Copies of this chain bind each other. A is one copy, B any other.
Amino acid sequence: MKEIFFATSNKNKYLEAKAILENFNIKVKWLKGKYPEIQAESLEEIAAFTAKWVAEKTKKKVFVEDAGLFIQTLNGFPGPYSSYVYQTIGNTGILKLLEGETKREAFFMSVIAYCKPSSKPITFTGKVHGTIAYEVRGDKGWGFDPIFIPKEGKGKTYAEMGPENKNKVSHRRKALEKFGTWFSKQCNNKD
């Protein structure tokens, strides 16, 4: 089984990645901590910087994950700063910004950045398209889950679907599966 370190402060993310990557015969170890994230307009750039930083610091093969909600009519806001925006204006703020707005298309995106020491980072993207609900719905999620209705969700928000169903179709799962497919094909323990 190939081994890799996941640098994150979020235990739930670690457990989710561990379960998904086991299907690819990859053993995920938790590199628990908070690592520097840069300010940039693309999640790829942000995740790549952190992955490189952690790989050089620890001399290990690592990956990091970053995600965001991009609302079309708000020019991609809150995008890379979703976590900060959630903590300050929350779902209520997003709904207020969209009051009277019928164009409610949005997507959730997850980026995995992988890096080994002295190498360039490589990124893998998972995207789920959907719309922003007209009100907060469901209590089985976190963050923007109660206002995001994925196309595949039969009209339910992520928070109404609950983690098990959400994780079957989620943006994070898609990114992890792309990464798992690629990583499991690399020559034995060389990458």
Contact = CB atoms under 8 A, between A and B. Distances in A.
A75 B89 contact: yes
Given A39-B39, A84-B41, A77 B96 contact: no
A77 B86 CA distance: 10
Interface residues of A, number: 24
A39 to B, nearest CB: 4
B37 A38 contact: yes
Interface string A78-89: 111100110111
Contacts of A19: none
Contact of A39 (B38, B75, B79): B38
Interface of A: 36-39, 41, 46, 49, 74-81, 84-85, 87-89, 93, 96-97, 99
